[in-house]
Structure 1
């Protein structure tokens, strides 16, 4: 005897980086099991793989999750989570005025958007003639080797994000230069030029939600900013 098939509702969202529409569904028991098992492991690598699998499944395998910018991936998962287990997340936020008081709040996940800063640009001018064009770090760079130093991680992220280098009218695409060439290029930058590159990462789009809470002990108002996916599930 064939058991009945339960129809799953579908929804649409707009991918922040491309502005393209994407159909998705809530995660089912099988995806919830993947997440719970990853949480039991308490390892970032397991959670990241679970996140990738859930988004892959719930978007009907229509996107290459590994190549998504991190902020796209986080935004899509947040929307999936909201339709799956509830649109309101209950979290505790720390009041910065005394540094010790936590206040419980409820966050409407449907209201969380990716924030794009006006001074952000993917094109970085290093000199009057030389510059670079950047792409956004993808899911693939969530997992670094445990033995990597923070400096090496930083250079790996920067190197992987450079799409092309230009010098006047000459353009060098990523496929045109080796990792060794890129390393020499980056190490030849001045501190001021390197700061311009770092600014790209500091100002790039991200999940962000700002609001005020009143410290029940001091009665002072605190401005709270939640950034990144993890901030909404503490």
Structure 2
């Protein structure tokens, strides 16, 4: 029997819930899944690869489809920083009409955070005196479903519908 490789374990806080989870860095096998998905340039394949990597690397039981989009982005950035390295080099080209210079920028992924969750607006919105709604954060499951829509209008309508948590109309409640 082959020995099991020991990988370091880390903890992170899921931004939307404040709960601690344990994870390990991704390994070559998982990075290959991501690289294959990137080669296809298919957004759906890339998102599935990212979710698969998070699912494989997080040791605390979670349902990746129930995570918010910003949770997934934060978790993947954190995984990447522990797996590949804390720094990422970007080389944006100057937008100026006369300037075409390429500038190198290094971003420290260890310093990436999800900001303003405590300052987020109230999720309860009063539309009229009798009608109000409660909203929820969009999950990755919602995002993947939105990719399957044929038109931009369908995507927007579906995004609004999936963001509705509860509708209040007078004495009636629809959840």
With the length of structure 1 as denominator, give the TM-score of the two structures.
Answer: 0.67
Instruction: Describe the superposition over 1:170-192 as per-residue Cα deviations: whole angstroms up to 9, x where unpaired.
Output: 3221xxxxxxxxxxxxxxxxxxx
SS in 2 for 1:103: coil
Q: What is the match of residue 107 of structure 1? A: 107
Instruction: Describe the superposition over 1:144-184 as per-residue Cα deviations: whole angstroms up to 9, x where unpaired.
Output: 356622121111001011010113443221xxxxxxxxxxx
Q: What is the match of residue 131 of structure 2? A: 130
| 2: CA distance, partners of 1:133 / 1:93 | 40
| Segment of structure 1 superposing worse, 60-69 or 117-126 | 117-126
Shift of 1:134: 0.7
Q: What is the match of residue 154 of structure 1? A: 156
SS in 2 for 1:142: helix
Q: What is the match of residue 87 of structure 2? A: 88
| Unmatched 5+ stretches in structure 2 | none
Q: What is the match of residue 141 of structure 2? A: 140
SS in 1 for 2:167: strand
Instruction: Describe the superposition over 1:89-144 as per-residue Cα deviations: whole angstroms up to 9, x where unpaired.
Output: 11123545558544210001010111226352211111122111011111123333
Distance verdict in 2 for CA 1:134–1:101, change over 3 Å: farther
Instruction: Determine if contact 2:123/2:135 at 8 Å carries over to the other structure.
Output: yes
With the length of structure 2 as denominator, give the TM-score of the two structures.
Answer: 0.88
Instruction: Determine if contact 1:129/1:168 at 8 Å carries over to the other structure.
Output: yes
Q: Which aligned runs of 4 or more in structure 1 are off by greater than 6 angstroms?
A: none
Instruction: Determine if contact 2:21/2:60 at 8 Å carries over to the other structure.
Output: no
Q: What is the match of residue 173 of structure 2? A: 171
Structure having the higher strand fraction is 1
- Measured on the aligned residues, the alpha-carbon RMSD in Å equals 2.0
SS in 2 for 1:171: strand
Distance verdict in 2 for CA 1:168–1:102, change over 3 Å: farther
Q: What is the match of residue 14 of structure 2? A: 15
Q: What is the match of residue 4 of structure 2? A: 5
Distance verdict in 2 for CA 1:43–1:169, change over 3 Å: same
Distance verdict in 2 for CA 1:94–1:4, change over 3 Å: same
